Amino acid sequence: MGEFPGSSGRLVALAAAACVAVSAIQFLLIGRFELTFDEAYYTLWSRSLAWGYFDHPPMVAAWIRASTTLFGDSEFGVRALNSAVLAALPALIAWIAWKLFKSVAVAALAALLWISMPLIAGAPIVTPDAPLVVFWTLGLAALVEVWRGRAWGWLGVGLALGFALLSKFTAAFFGAGIVLALVATPSLRRWFFSPAPYAAALLAAAIVSPFLVWNAGHGWATFGKQFGRVPPRGLAPRYALEFLGSQIGLMNPLTFFAAGAAIVSAFRTAASAHAPEQEARRLLIATIAPAALYFLVHSLHARVQANWLAPLSPAVAILAAEAGVRGSRLARTAARWAPALGLATIAITYLHAATGQPRIGPADPIARIGGWRALSDQVFSRARDENAAFVLTHGYAATSLLTYYGPNAPPVVQAGERVRWLFEPPPDEALFSRPGLAFGEASGEFSATLGKKFGRVEEIARLPRVSTGAKVQDFALYRVSDPIAPVLTPD
């Protein structure tokens, strides 16, 4: 086995330069693009902080609230804190790699491989995955301290696990990974006979308990939403191929290969299981395995969104870096070229985002983001002309974006899925006794739904949503009055 080509000093300089460059570009871009519908939705959460919400635990709302308090309510303000925290994450990843493998080259390469994952191109978008990745990685760092014999590390594990669970249910797999690490790592097994890990579990439970209390008082709404995805609904192996392809692509095919080589090496060298580097590999693999295996099984019957495995990316980068420095020739070659491939992909993505070129069409994820500010101006201009008492919407995406980009009045109200809006007082049905507007995608289905709620429904405009100079979708605007049934419905 050879060493990774180049000196450790060059690797450190390259990793630092890449991290600074990618982070700087992200800060330049985050204020140039309108919010996605989920970001707008979570921003509305942040304006009405609660211990729970229908879709997720409350951390992303607190995350955005802190950011907008510091940086303002603009798109930049919503995303700035998120980008700043993620910009610091490569240093934490490098620190973990150093503690595990005592190699400057492995530490620097781990940071470089993480920042060059195409997954990072979407990192500035604020979702519950952002705080989840941060707290999961902090938990991994604390677990590494436990492995190094520091009992106080369990305090960090408990805190990180608790805050990760307040970010997203996926954090439960990190808890399972900790248990698996204690089983799979010989030097950690002694902790089964210590009160420390159990105290850490109790600390995590205490942190998440207000969210549980909130759910208990709201019919376990979040649990019903998330666990409703778990039961299989028939075999659909095409999703498994999509899942594997998306993970390989977003984590960088060459990094994925190098990490796979490290995993194979861990299983091949069981005889030296007590060697520190072998234990380090086992610890990392254990924290990855529960989530990776569950979502692989889940993908056999349902789609797994590519970002759901984002918290595994730091451990994958560290495994790949260790194989890239000390592994086989193929692993070292893959790790050597992975940063070039990943950074080129990120650069092309950001260039396309900044210029809109080349035009890909309606399927372009960048084009699908924008156009809501102009559309909102048109909707509320008509609302003023019509003296509308409300704007009734179809779907939480339109509701969130019109609310974010529109004025405070008239109110924007989603007709159905009222459980999504538990965090704010519901409007009185008396609001709809006055004439208003209804806004939704141009379709016979929406018009038919309105016809069941109002005695008078008249389409008054077709409004296209235009992004990067191309029409993405058409919306219809209706004048509605004379309600004949309850306007707000739970479904």
pLDDT digits 0-9 by tens, 83-119: 999 999 999 999 999 999 999 999 999 999 999 999 9
Residue 297 reports pLDDT greater than 50: yes
Mean pLDDT of 170-188: 96
Q: Which residue has the tokens 């990855």?
A: 288
Whole-angstrom Cα distance, residue 433 to residue 418? 19
Whole-angstrom Cα distance, residue 93 to residue 141? 8
Q: Which 8-state DSSP code applies to residue 462?
A: E
| pLDDT score, position 1 | 39
Q: Which pLDDT band, with edges at 50, 70 and 90, does 353 fall under?
A: confident
Mean pLDDT of 124-148: 96
| pLDDT score, position 35 | 94
Strands (E), 54-193: none
Give the global pTM: 0.93
242-265 burial, b at 16+ Cβ within 10 Å, e below that, comes to ebeebbeebbbbbbbbbbbbbbeb
Residue 50 reports pLDDT greater than 80: yes
Whole-angstrom Cα distance, residue 394 to residue 416? 7
* Contacting residues for 318 by C-beta, under 8 A, at least 6 apart: 93, 96, 97, 100, 106, 110, 284
* Contacting residues for 170 by C-beta, under 8 A, at least 6 apart: 132, 291, 308, 311
Which two structure tokens, joined as six digits, stand for 377?
């101006």
| pLDDT score, position 369 | 82
| pLDDT score, position 363 | 62
For the chain, give percent helix, strand, coil, nearest 5: 65, 10, 25
Q: Which pLDDT band, with edges at 50, 70 and 90, does 273 fall under?
A: low
Residue 206 reports pLDDT greater than 90: yes
- How far is CA 306 from each of CA 102, 175, 223, 302, rounded to the nearest angstrom? 32, 21, 21, 13
- pLDDT per position as a tens digit, 386-414: 999 999 998 899 999 999 999 988 999 99
| pLDDT score, position 2 | 44
Q: Is the dihedral of CA 292, 294, 295, 301 positive or negative?
A: positive
* Contacting residues for 143 by C-beta, under 8 A, at least 6 apart: 153, 157, 178, 181, 283, 287
- pLDDT per position as a tens digit, 369-389: 888 999 999 999 999 999 999
**Domain ranges (residues) in the chain:** 8-355, 372-483
Bridge partners of 475, per DSSP, are 441, 463
Q: What is the mean pLDDT of the chain?
A: 90
More confident residue, 27 or 237: 27
Out of 71-80, 268-277, 302-311, 400-409, least confident range: 268-277
Mean pLDDT of 407-428: 89
Mean pLDDT of 237-244: 89
Whole-angstrom Cα distance, residue 3 to residue 324? 8
The type of residue at 453 is: K
- pLDDT per position as a tens digit, 445-479: 888 888 889 999 999 999 988 877 777 888 999 99
Mean pLDDT of 140-159: 97
| pLDDT score, position 490 | 78
Whole-angstrom Cα distance, residue 310 to residue 294? 14
